[in-house]
Structure 1
């Protein structure tokens, strides 16, 4: 079964995409930037702060799917500048602990205006 997941506590997409899709026990969360869900503005120029906001938003979407950040099994991280990775890693360690989710990091030219990072998330709900 495939089901759309959405919450007003996450950033409402302006493009024709879902916040997340449940496929069986997996939750696939569309790429998230560090936007405040209410203002839709990027919260800071700092990658660490953007990372923290991204995972606040991801946590809200996961909660709407009956999951938590503990269910995250994979993150794909897109950076506009790979030199920002240490700031990202510092914030990431505040959010996740071992065993860390599988992760890939990719350098790209640009994301949305003001965004320095975008993260796609896959979670697995073991409670279903």
Structure 2
């Protein structure tokens, strides 16, 4: 049995993974950083810009799968330091409407591509 996957048009993969994998009732979206853009040229971004770009790349993959931010049930946010929490959160809260999805936010030692934030999510397909 093959996997049904979705690929965002505006981003690349920094490893051997799919942007999203359909698992029946749920779609699992790989983490995106602000540096996953297909047009990325090596510039460095502040945490606010990285967070906005991470969500833009997730939206691209969501669009390809035919779902929206309102369909997201779980989000995992990875930060290279909790010093970025408030800035990330100020962007995050603009992306969702109440009731908000479940979320985990953890600090990690480092992230791919030198990013300071990576965001992944799980969608429950609409009925």
Tell whether the structures are fold-level matches, with TM greater than 0.5: yes
Question: What is the rounded CA distance, in whole Å, between the counterparts of 2:118 and 2:43 in structure 1?
Answer: 13
Question: What is the rounded CA distance, in whole Å, between the counterparts of 2:27 and 2:79 in structure 1?
Answer: 23
In the other structure, the counterpart of 1:18 is 18
Residue 118 of structure 2 corresponds to residue 126 of structure 1: no
Q: Which runs of 5+ in 1 are unaligned?
A: none
Please tell me whether the aligned partners of residues 14 and 36 of structure 2 are also in contact (alpha carbons under 8 angstroms): no
Runs of 4+ deviating beyond 4 Å: 41-44
Please tell me whether the aligned partners of residues 32 and 58 of structure 2 are also in contact (alpha carbons under 8 angstroms): yes
Q: 1:4 to 1:89 in 2, by over 3 A?
A: same
TM-superposition CA deviations, 1:25-61 (whole Å, max 9, x none) = 2110111101262323577532121111111111110
How does the TM-score come out when normalised to structure 1?
0.88
Deviates more, 1:105-114 or 1:22-31: 105-114
TM-superposition CA deviations, 1:2-33 (whole Å, max 9, x none) = 41111323x22141111110111211011110
In the other structure, the counterpart of 1:4 is 5
Q: How does 1:91-110 map to 2 (within 5 A)?
A: 91-110=91-110
